[in-house]
Amino acid sequence: DIVMTQSPDSLAVSLGERATINCKSSQSVLYSSNNKNYLAWYQQKPGQPPKLLIYWASIRESGVPDRFSGSGSGTDFTLTINTLQAEDVAIYYCQQYYSSPPETTFGQGTRLEIK
């Protein structure tokens, strides 16, 4: 199984500042045949289901504000939230969908709060 490890577990950032969340996979999720990283990021607000933010490591889902961006390749990935807004308070999860046979695993989550 591919283990996804996020850091930090929680962070507090001031409004208008930048938040950075890291995700490390226990093995590469880069598929060399198509040069795609099988990595997604989700946002989950209290009492709500997760919402897809980023997929293929850096592609923003339709409707997601451009202050959200994803980067990284292979085993190390980052979700960056620029100009933090109050509505960004949530738990953020990374997910790999590379494993075969198909199974998917999530990071443990990172709780983002306002400082």
Partner 1 sequence: QVQLVESGGDLVKPGGSLRLSCAASGFTFSDFHMSWIRQAPGKGLEWVSHISSSGTIVHYADSVKGRFTISRDNSKNSLHLQMNSLGAEDTAVYYCARLMSGFYTPLDFWGQGTLVTVSS
Binding site for partner 1 (CB under 8 A): 38, 40, 42, 48-52, 55, 61, 93, 95, 97-98, 100-109
Asked whether the beta carbons of 97 and 104 are under 8 A apart, the reply is yes
CB 49, min distance to partner 1, A: 4
Kindly state the smallest distance separating residue 50's Cβ from partner 1, in Å: 6
Residue 52 Cβ, how far from partner 1 at the closest point, in Å? Answer: 5
Q: Name the residue nearer to partner 1 (CB basis): 15 or 59.
A: 59
Q: CA–CA distance from 81 to each of 60, 73, 78 (Å)?
A: 12, 18, 10
Quick one: tokens of 2?
A: 């591919």
Contacts of 30 (CB under 8 A, 6+ apart): 36, 37, 38, 73, 74
42 vs 77, beta carbon nearer partner 1: 42
For 77, residues 6+ apart whose C-beta sits below 8 A from its C-beta are: 22, 23, 24, 25, 37, 39, 57, 70, 71, 94
Which residue number, 80 or 105, has a Cβ lying nearer to partner 1? 105
Which is closer to partner 1, CB of 16 or CB of 102? 102
**In the complex, what is the shortest distance from the CB of residue 100 to partner 1, in angstroms, rounded to a whole number?**
8
